[in-house]
Structure 1
Amino acid sequence: MFSAWITALIAGVSTLVIQKLFFPYFWMDLKLLTKAISYGIKIEIYKKTAKVVTVLDRFMQQAQKIPNKPFIIYEDNAFTYQDVDKRSNKVAQVFFKQGGLKKGDTVALLMSNEPDFINVWFGLCKLGCAVAFLNFNIKSRSLLHCFNSCGAKTLVVGSDMTDTLEDILPNLHEDNISVWIMASESHQPGINTILDKLEDAPDEPVPAHLRATDSVKTPTLYIFTSGTTGLPKAAVISQLQSLKGAAGLWAYGATADDIVYVTLPLYHSAASLIGVGGCIELGATFVLKKKFSASQFWSDCRKYNVTVFQYIGEICRYLCNMPKKEGEKDHKVRMGVGNGVQQNIWKEFLDRFGDIKLCELYGSTEGNVCFMNHIGKIGAVGRSNFFYKRIFKYCLVKYDMENGEIILNEQGFCEEVKKGEAGLLLSQINSMSPFFGYAGSKSLTEKKLLRDVFMKGDVYLNTGDLMVEDQEDFIYFKDRIGDTFRWKGENVSTTEVADVVGIIDFLQEANIYGVSVPGYEGKAGMAAVVLNPGCGFDGKSLYEHVEHYLPGYARPRFVRIQKSMEITGTFKQQKFRLVESGFNPSTITDSLYFLDESQKCYVPLTTEIFDIIVSGQIKL
């Protein structure tokens, strides 16, 4: 008896030792996997029964269960679940009775971060409408394209966004688009007002059958992503994707007692799906900030007892660049959820601000694959394991950076890279990992797909991202390929910028790419250009041109004048060598220019200016 007990004890200790040595993350992986399976079963039940409990349904359940609990805190004002439920009912009533909207319509929303963004969003969804979130940074041609591409016939505009309408209002009226503004009165003809009508509208719910859906594939949102073919594309966000996003905070261990700080723009999926949707799933409260402020961040966290915050890498870098103060660890923040923190910034952030678990995640707005770094491993964007790989089929394949092409074997198929090597991330499209694509032309969706990848008939999504998976199954982001790069937390389409830059009269051709700048996340835009014969470079005109047509994050910070444009063996513009050579005037013989905001002009990039930029004395 005693010997059997000793044998069992030794076996148990041996198992623990083996697990610790060879499977150190087993229990943390198992915990996340268990959550994922339980949530997946719930969604499968929705599919089988055709009775989908959407994120909006979940919100209305919470409004009944915890009506007086604050849902939104904005500029010292608290709005409870019941407050938001009733005001969004009013919005629904206005558009149901006076806006002529019906179930299945698409409405475009152009608003900054404010509570009425949520109220309008939810009110329209209560009518069964899909809502298209417009990026308020984009202008004129791009904005009009976004509006048209999602098929919207109604536009709702925030009161602080009316100036954005000036260039496109005639086009909207010509197309019989109904324009509504969040104001009590308007001095512009042909614009409907909302606030005056909300005062008289009942706060009773509209019929429940309007919002009901029997399929998780039903579109609920359109969120715009950078277009590799030029203009932004409207990614279709289904009820399934919305539900998955709402589970993110819960999967990382957030609870109903957490207070979440949301400073990212609500038109992005991170803030709307993960932040707002995540709080709804938990029954938690979130603090909404109109715009991120590094100087107010920690005082806000202390003031509102924030425990969880959303971030992009730029936010953590901005916070680390602030002057040091006493008591920087005096707060209740325990977790951050986001993506894009560089390893050195990550370490500095923890050393300076305390034991805060940064939970990186990887996933594009329209993508069908997601990685979560639930371990908190510094530098990793996510983690995989044996079980994840069996459920969600993904691979990293060999890619030729210089020529911008996937490397194929003799049989014409892709080949996977070895552990520790960089490869292009592809994700198989199947019933477990569907891809809903983009609104508009089917060709936009088709261009993201790769067929016959490992065998005839298979279909994979091309994420456009180079990744590395190490021996412990941690996944690291390396670079974006092709026609996009990331700057200031936004994806920039090189094709869209090239189209805008290329129409100025003294340029023959423009090649847009991103270059690394010390101390900055992502890559700053750079344009390699060829001048028209007999023309000189006009830095003033180019500055005025890009300022008018491009949002700040998309404007090229540097310009390189070339005699002729380099191309690859497949006749594409050569970007790889340009990216590698950067913007250092001491190593580049071509003439270089820098976007100088103070002079409102592209000025010659001298070695002195270069040194000041690299040292951080000039802010990009």
Structure 2
Amino acid sequence: MVLPWVTGAAAGLLSLHLIQRLLFPYFWEDLKYLLRVVKYGLTVEVYRLRGKVSTVLDRFVKLAERQPNKPFILYEGDVYTYRDVDRRSNRVAQVFLKQGVLKKGDTVALLMSNEPDFIHLWFGLAKLGCVVAFLNFNIRARSLLHSIQSCEPKLLIVGADMLGTLEEILPSLQEDIQVWVMTKDPTLPGVITILDKLEAASEDPVPVKLRSVNSLKSSVLYIFTSGTTGLPKAAVISHMQVLKGAAGLWAFGATPADVVYITLPLYHSAASLLGIGGCIELGATCVLRKKFSASQFWSDCKKYNVTTIQYIGELCRYLCKQPVKEGEKDHKVRLAVGNGVRSDVWREFLDRFGDIKMCEFYGATEGNICFMNHTGKIGSVGRSNFFYKLFFPFDLIKYDFQKEEPIRNEHGWCESVKKGDAGLLISKVNSKNPFFGYAGNKKHTEKKLLSDVFKKGDLYFNTGDLMVQDQENFLYFWDRTGDTFRWKGENVATTEVSDIIGMLDFIQEANVYGVPVPGHEGKVGMASVILKPNKSLDFQRIYEQVVTYLPSYACPLFLRFQETMELTGTFKQQKFQLVREGFDPSVISDPLYYLDHSKKTYVLLTKEYHGQILSGQVKL
């Protein structure tokens, strides 16, 4: 009697397994990932209910006690252990405590490139309970001044290699902002040096009460983003967001034994929160590089026994464009965590560099939604299911590409798109998934919110991104909306570029937009301009204007001269048709020009040169 029962049970289990594999092929992977997310969330919640708000900085201090001699940062041949970083950051805190220039809650702006002292200053200031604003070291002049003023810092701290940038803006800085520089000797008037004071400072910890917080929703960082319009905006980053970011590597399967290679700029949330924060969550080691080098990438990975790398789509493409070398799969990298890689580059990357688990994710710096591709599905930024939407409600809604706004039906409600169609990604704002907005700019905060979407009183965060969800619930990034595009891994605000070009006395109007280029991630900058009456073009002045006042990734590579500027029904500049037409001189009758750095001007774009761009012969 037992044998038939066992046989029947086995047959039933086999049938269930086959049905699961057929109808729900990702069930176990989804369940495993969901359990990890729930476990992390419950841990944070238990701490909160006990009245112990534990931050990423608190975890770092504990790790410095628990594993003091473990390397935390490897940089240009130097090793900084957890204890080293803890003590150096204590010195930072002691310097400013002794000077009496900062109090808990003050904001300090940081203008530094990738180096260990960026982290020492960040942690030291955080130990005083200060909010640290990470400034983009690529921006200059007007944009940089705007960024500094928008976060209202008490202090501005500048790295030794950023003194040239500081010198440009120093006369225009507000007098009530103290300027400190990472040097021993003052080289500019009115600045205060730090390195000499660090040498004399104590390594003793400052009082814990200075960094203690009552709520994970309190602000700890400002990270700048172009968002979808205008000049850079200071996204308010809470302790909760830092904790979520720090859990990313762990959620993808990284362990304390991993060595994480960080070449992305620390002023970005990917490097600072996911990278540095992720290493702290794991208790792992990171290899920090001043800037990305395609030629040195894999040799660094071998040299430091790197097991996890961070990427953006452009980084992967640059690596694939490098000359093929023998032994390219001879490394220990097992995880690659990042976003924005195209499917063709993804496949080429794996074919060329070996069996690496690509952990693609999606998340805006200031956003309240994140997707993680835990299955490795090529091209996808993540998956959704019933349980995920339960914890993180989101939707893809119909969008009017001409009017550049969500479509509302006759009743005034938005409508979801069908699976397979592109829709605007929106995420519900509630107590569990709040949106903290931008520092000092209520108007921009309100513009990122959509109200009365599906019913009266509901509130959603507008990501500004168009996504597609397929029949298996995989999500794919489709495009960006609004006055922005992405190039070289950076967001470019078209209105900022237009304003810079519009400052020239012979330009009447400039319409800036991004156009796709085959074989490249994102979109390259292009500007359609109209001359003022009785004025002539000065290409050299346009060149000097954009390279002086814009970061390199924001300089328009193509110019198009028109006699009139088309407007939408709401009198906005028409970009849709311009983007579709691109920069092809065989279909555009208007004069086209391209930025030539070798000649330091814009020169005529010929059909031959256009063909060389499309074939990849020209490096953009």
| TM class, shorter-length | over 0.9
Q: Tell me what 1:615 maps to.
A: 615
Equivalent positions of 1:258-269 (< 5 A) are 258-269=258-269
Equivalent positions of 1:440-519 (< 5 A) are 440-519=440-519
- Alignment partner of 1:499: what SS? helix
1:283-322 Cα distance to aligned partner (Å, 9 max, x none): 0000000000000000000000000000000010000000
How far apart in 2 are the matches of 1:145 and 1:422?
35
CA shift at 1:519, angstroms? 1.4
Q: Tell me what 1:8 maps to.
A: 9
Judge conservation of contact 2:167–2:188 (CA < 8 Å) in 1: no
- Alignment partner of 1:168: what SS? helix
How far apart in 1 are the matches of 2:237 and 2:77?
32
Judge conservation of contact 1:515–1:582 (CA < 8 Å) in 2: yes
How far apart in 2 are the matches of 1:599 and 1:101?
48
1:414-467 Cα distance to aligned partner (Å, 9 max, x none): 010000110010111011211000000211100000110011100111101010
Q: Which amino acid aligns with 1:436?
A: F
Equivalent positions of 1:196-595 (< 5 A) are 196-595=196-595
Q: Tell me what 2:138 maps to.
A: 137
How far apart in 1 are the matches of 2:101 and 2:408?
54
Q: Which amino acid aligns with 1:223?
A: I
Q: Which amino acid aligns with 2:359?
A: C
Judge conservation of contact 1:51–1:215 (CA < 8 Å) in 2: no
1:164-204 Cα distance to aligned partner (Å, 9 max, x none): 011221232x4221111111111212111111111110100
Judge conservation of contact 1:88–1:120 (CA < 8 Å) in 2: yes
Q: Tell me what 2:62 maps to.
A: 61
Are the structure 2 counterparts of residues 57 and 398 from structure 1 closer, same or farther at C-alpha, using a change threshold of 3 Å?
Answer: same
Q: Tell me what 2:195 maps to.
A: 195
Are the structure 2 counterparts of residues 86 and 5 from structure 1 closer, same or farther at C-alpha, using a change threshold of 3 Å?
Answer: same
CA shift at 1:390, angstroms? 1.4
- Alignment partner of 2:412: what SS? coil
Q: Tell me what 1:103 maps to.
A: 104
- Alignment partner of 1:295: what SS? coil
Runs of 4+ in 1 over 6 A off after TM superposition: none
Judge conservation of contact 1:50–1:215 (CA < 8 Å) in 2: no
CA shift at 1:518, angstroms? 1.3
How far apart in 2 are the matches of 1:399 and 1:338?
27
CA shift at 1:256, angstroms? 0.3
Q: Which amino acid aligns with 1:411?
A: H
Task: Point out where structure 2 has 5 or more consecutive residues left out of the alignment.
Answer: none
How far apart in 2 are the matches of 1:383 and 1:229?
29
Q: Which amino acid aligns with 2:559?
A: V
- Alignment partner of 2:337: what SS? strand
The percent identity for this pair of structures is: 66
Q: Tell me what 1:78 maps to.
A: 79
- Alignment partner of 1:281: what SS? helix
CA shift at 1:46, angstroms? 4.0
Q: Which amino acid aligns with 1:478?
A: W
340-349 or 500-509: which moved more? 500-509
Judge conservation of contact 1:51–1:213 (CA < 8 Å) in 2: no
CA shift at 1:227, angstroms? 4.7
How far apart in 2 are the matches of 1:480 and 1:383?
19
Q: Which amino acid aligns with 1:161?
A: M
Q: Which amino acid aligns with 1:257?
A: A
Judge conservation of contact 1:338–1:360 (CA < 8 Å) in 2: yes
How far apart in 2 are the matches of 1:619 and 1:71?
37
How far apart in 1 are the matches of 2:259 and 2:100?
36
Q: Which amino acid aligns with 1:566?
A: E
- Alignment partner of 2:296: what SS? helix
Q: Tell me what 1:34 maps to.
A: 35
How far apart in 2 are the matches of 1:50 and 1:388?
28
Judge conservation of contact 1:230–1:499 (CA < 8 Å) in 2: no
How far apart in 2 are the matches of 1:420 and 1:491?
26
CA shift at 1:381, angstroms? 0.9
Q: Which amino acid aligns with 2:272?
A: S
39-48 or 176-185: which moved more? 39-48
Q: Tell me what 2:116 maps to.
A: 115
Q: Which amino acid aligns with 1:85?
A: D
Judge conservation of contact 2:466–2:481 (CA < 8 Å) in 1: yes
- Alignment partner of 2:387: what SS? helix
Task: Point out where structure 1 has 5 or more consecutive residues left out of the alignment.
Answer: none
360-369 or 571-580: which moved more? 571-580
1:490-542 Cα distance to aligned partner (Å, 9 max, x none): 00001111111111111111111100011110000000111111122211110
How far apart in 2 are the matches of 1:336 and 1:217?
30
- Alignment partner of 2:486: what SS? strand
1:7-33 Cα distance to aligned partner (Å, 9 max, x none): 111111111111111111111111110
1:529-568 Cα distance to aligned partner (Å, 9 max, x none): 1111112221111000011110000111111111111111
- Alignment partner of 1:427: what SS? strand
CA shift at 1:47, angstroms? 3.8
535-544 or 63-72: which moved more? 535-544
How far apart in 2 are the matches of 1:35 and 1:312?
25
How far apart in 2 are the matches of 1:97 and 1:229?
41
CA shift at 1:3, angstroms? 1.6
Q: Which amino acid aligns with 2:495?
A: T
Q: Which amino acid aligns with 2:445?
A: T
1:322-371 Cα distance to aligned partner (Å, 9 max, x none): 00011111000011000011010000001111011110000000000000
Judge conservation of contact 1:263–1:289 (CA < 8 Å) in 2: yes
1:32-74 Cα distance to aligned partner (Å, 9 max, x none): 1001111111222344344211000000011011100000000
CA shift at 1:94, angstroms? 0.3
Judge conservation of contact 1:402–1:577 (CA < 8 Å) in 2: no
- Alignment partner of 2:226: what SS? strand
Q: Tell me what 2:164 maps to.
A: 163
Q: Which amino acid aligns with 1:129?
A: C
Judge conservation of contact 2:487–2:523 (CA < 8 Å) in 1: yes
- Alignment partner of 1:121: what SS? helix
- Alignment partner of 1:294: what SS? coil
Q: Which amino acid aligns with 2:409?
A: N
The TM-score, its normalising length taken from structure 2, stands at: 0.99
566-575 or 129-138: which moved more? 566-575
How far apart in 2 are the matches of 1:421 and 1:517?
23
- Alignment partner of 2:231: what SS? strand
How many corresponding residue pairs?
619
Judge conservation of contact 2:567–2:574 (CA < 8 Å) in 1: yes
How far apart in 2 are the matches of 1:386 and 1:149?
40
358-367 or 174-183: which moved more? 174-183
How far apart in 2 are the matches of 1:386 and 1:223?
32
Q: Which amino acid aligns with 1:23?
A: F
How far apart in 2 are the matches of 1:227 and 1:237?
14
- Alignment partner of 1:167: what SS? helix
1:357-400 Cα distance to aligned partner (Å, 9 max, x none): 11000000000000000101000011111100111110001112
Judge conservation of contact 1:92–1:124 (CA < 8 Å) in 2: yes
How far apart in 2 are the matches of 1:245 and 1:440?
24
Judge conservation of contact 2:229–2:484 (CA < 8 Å) in 1: no
The TM-score, its normalising length taken from structure 1, stands at: 0.99
CA RMSD of aligned residues (A): 1.0
Q: Which amino acid aligns with 2:41?
A: G
Judge conservation of contact 1:515–1:525 (CA < 8 Å) in 2: yes
